[in-house]
Chains A and B, each alone.
Chain A
């Protein structure tokens, strides 16, 4: 499936030319890598010949750590992977444990989980929008995005106790019931954000400079997106249908009215538009659920110590960046024998070299911005 680019076919392409080329390190400390990602790029003038990501600067061996933590404890470590969608990471892990223990999650907990997931997705996309615009050179959108993100963080703080790594989900439901103010504040947020998302479009989407910066940049065909294992908006921008919420619905997603957003452009603009439309979809999901939270328990009755039966378990969820998979091998004890996380950022990053070749340095920054990299998610 791997499609060779024009540059790859030339003999010696991608290798530095002794006289003309310049090898330049972007990162590990660089404003546009959003963390400690190290890119070694080979430049010919301003044109990129090769991009080589060097990973591992923030590797904390979370998978190994999880092997010594119980089935209740390991969930909280996963908040620190993709810290912008920590709720959804926790959700994936909970789903896997629940599958193994065959726990039935109460209806109220299911709805609260989905609500929290979608609010997290919105917050993550807002941060992406601001930070992406900043990479492309517009500094103002960042502050506009943070205004709305702050409201979500406040909602999270009230209900979960923290603002970023919430650790709200437990096997069998959620830790505590939502705060009495929750519904009111979410309504307030919906009302506020509905006008502001149009402002986002006015400020950035229609800007001719922005359009020029992202249109036709970092082209990734459908075949390439599949063969690199891209998921989430990165793949959906290339026309791949890969929304786990639609394809393998979990919790109450099968009962909800929402569209899977795909674009066929395959360039940065398509990825941008997918995320912008996803924000509207998430908003509509929150709107559908917020008045329909059923009464009941927020947590199923579970044993104090969970022991997964011997076997292998897998679950997947859709984070803000793509498909997040959890694979647990249990030997029947209180801790997992082996855990593997399939993080979306790692696969999406692997397509970076393919997308950036032949572009300019400015294009590389735009491509990285539109992939929406979170480095702890890549390194784990």
Chain B
């Protein structure tokens, strides 16, 4: 099976053999940093293109089709336009916070990618609290949004930021409970252990109904956490024009926009890792012939395929559903999702203790 593990190990050894003490680590930092920045930009471009094509498909349109083959370079052209555009700072804004906010949102979106396992052996940081790291860091992004809303000195922005704050803080709970369900079954917070535990079957198949419930709740909660429709109250263009980033323009706006898409990627990748087996291929118990065929598909393709499927589902939500109202949004979380996920967690615990899962 082709694996990226050997390449990374070879580079590591080569660096250690040829350079003195602090250098290998610094060079590796630089390589990883460049990779993340490259991935960030690539993901932004690809996902925005995908969103536009998916929405066009659902809305009886063609979508972008002028710049490059089938409009491939449309997002690149848009990004270029945003880069050369003036990044305005409104007169009444708190200049420091206003300019800091997009960077906080972006940096968090980048940092959160660290423990993701993109393929077999392709992982930047296999931290022993991997899943906890996700939940901890993703909750910091609300600070960037609140900062943007407050510093803009705009009432629409403020309303959007307050909505976003209420929403993210609430939905983190059920997202956390859904993640805990897997942690209980696996017994570890480490991403690599969670992925390896699914070698003989993904949790969505092994975990019976409670894991299905956890998966659905997870998808709803992360849609809300990333401020996507039908939970896009923080932006709500028909109510608040653009919510917390009303006053942003040029590249500062683009950073929010990119961060939104990278966040979608990250939460979908997490969903794929926890519930759909990460890079693990699809295996059916004893059918070795089938399992071998599946093993020939590279692990990175498995991971990306699952992730992009979940991203497609989240886009599907956006282009189908109307938006909820703020009180309905909070009711959904506190009255339905949270109690259900709590009870579900108990069920999963019982299942894990009794060993009822496969």
List chain B residues, Cβ under 8 A from A137: 229-230, 232, 236, 238, 321-324
List chain B residues, Cβ under 8 A from A147: 60
Determine if B159 is an interface residue (Cβ-Cβ < 8 Å): yes
List chain A residues, Cβ under 8 A from B156: 24
Determine if A263 is an interface residue (Cβ-Cβ < 8 Å): no
Asked if B320 contacts A138 (CB within 8 A), the reply is yes
Asked if A213 contacts B238 (CB within 8 A), the reply is no
List chain A residues, Cβ under 8 A from B208: none
CA–CA, A24 and B55, complex, Å: 32
Determine if A209 is an interface residue (Cβ-Cβ < 8 Å): yes
16 contacts between A and B (CB under 8 A): A24-B159, A31-B237, A32-B238, A133-B322, A137-B236, A137-B324, A139-B319, A144-B59, A204-B322, A207-B321, A209-B323, A209-B324, A213-B323, A360-B326, A362-B325, A362-B326
List chain B residues, Cβ under 8 A from A144: 59-60
CA–CA, A127 and B59, complex, Å: 15
Contact with B along A143-156 (1 / 0, CB 8 A): 11001000000000
Given A137-B229, A142-B59, 5 more pairs with CB closer than 8 A:
A24-B156, A137-B321, A140-B59, A140-B320, A209-B328
Contact with B along A340-376 (1 / 0, CB 8 A): 0000000000000000000011110100000000000
Which A residues are within 8 Å of any B CB, using their own CB?
Answer: 22, 24, 30-32, 46, 133-140, 142-144, 147, 204, 207, 209-210, 212-213, 360-363, 365
Please name the residue on chain B nearest to A362 by beta carbon: B325
For residue B155, give the distance in angstroms from its CB to the closest CB of chain A.
5
CA–CA, A143 and B319, complex, Å: 11
CA–CA, A142 and B237, complex, Å: 15
Asked if A210 contacts B322 (CB within 8 A), the reply is yes
Given contacts A139-B59, A139-B319, A147-B60, contact A134 B238 (CB under 8 A): yes
Asked if A360 contacts B327 (CB within 8 A), the reply is yes
Which B residues from 30 to 82 make CB contacts under 8 A with A? 55, 58-61
Determine if B5 is an interface residue (Cβ-Cβ < 8 Å): no
CA–CA, A363 and B325, complex, Å: 8
CA–CA, A363 and B322, complex, Å: 13
CA–CA, A46 and B164, complex, Å: 13
CA–CA, A65 and B233, complex, Å: 44
Determine if B291 is an interface residue (Cβ-Cβ < 8 Å): no
Which B residues from 193 to 247 make CB contacts under 8 A with A? 229-230, 232-233, 236-241
Given contacts A24-B156, A137-B236, contact A213 B60 (CB under 8 A): no
Asked if A140 contacts B232 (CB within 8 A), the reply is no
Asked if B239 contacts A32 (CB within 8 A), the reply is yes
Asked if A46 contacts B159 (CB within 8 A), the reply is yes
CA–CA, A32 and B239, complex, Å: 7
Asked if B322 contacts A138 (CB within 8 A), the reply is yes
Given contacts A24-B155, A137-B321, contact A362 B59 (CB under 8 A): no
